[in-house]
Amino acid sequence: QRLKAAVHYTVGCLCQDVAEDKDVQFSKQTIAAISEITFRQCENFAKDLEMFARHAKRSTVTTEDVKLLARRSNSLLKYITQKSEELASRNMEQKEKKKKKSSAAKGGRTGEQETAVTESEDSNMA
């Protein structure tokens, strides 16, 4: 129910923006109809995505499933592909940074451990 209300609110805001930009009016019934159609379409998208993942014997929806869903809209598919590539490159950069940090931390700990062992041996000799 809250999700449906959020969709209705968002559609109302979009209609208001278009109305101002194009100098037109949207009736409350029109906004309600667009909201209902949008909500139903989103439900269909969710079911399709679930089916795509299930067909691939997965329990998780992937970006490939979303691309498959968007295949009929070239501009949407292009946008999703671009965003997916951006996210993938960011994830790779973050993984590389983590690797560098963890390897630097491991190297630092090893040096500290060697120092502690050396100090321990020195105190035993005294």
Instruction: Kindly report, residue by residue over 36-87, the tens digit of the pLDDT.
Output: 999 999 999 999 999 999 999 999 999 999 999 999 999 999 999 999 999 9
Same domain, 51 and 2: yes
d(CA 126, CA 112): 21
Q: How far is CA 19 from CA 16, 26, 39, in A?
A: 5, 7, 21
Same domain flag for 4 and 51: yes
The boundaries of the domain holding residue 36 are 1-58
Q: Give the predicted TM-score (pTM) of the model.
A: 0.68
- What's CA 26's distance to the chain center, in Å? 33
The helix/strand/coil state of 112 is helix
Domain annotation covers residue 17: yes
The answer as to whether 106 is a domain residue is no
In a domain, 45, yes or no: yes
Identify the pLDDT of residue 122: 45
Q: How confident is the model at residue 99 (pLDDT cuts 50, 70, 90)?
A: confident
Q: Is residue 107 part of a domain?
A: no
Check the CA dihedral 27-33-37-40 and report its sign. Answer: positive
Rounded to the nearest angstrom, the gap between the alpha carbon of residue 25 and the centroid of all alpha carbons in its chain is 35
Q: Which of 2, 22, 27 is nearest to 12 (CA)?
A: 27
- Whether 105 is covered by a domain: the verdict is no
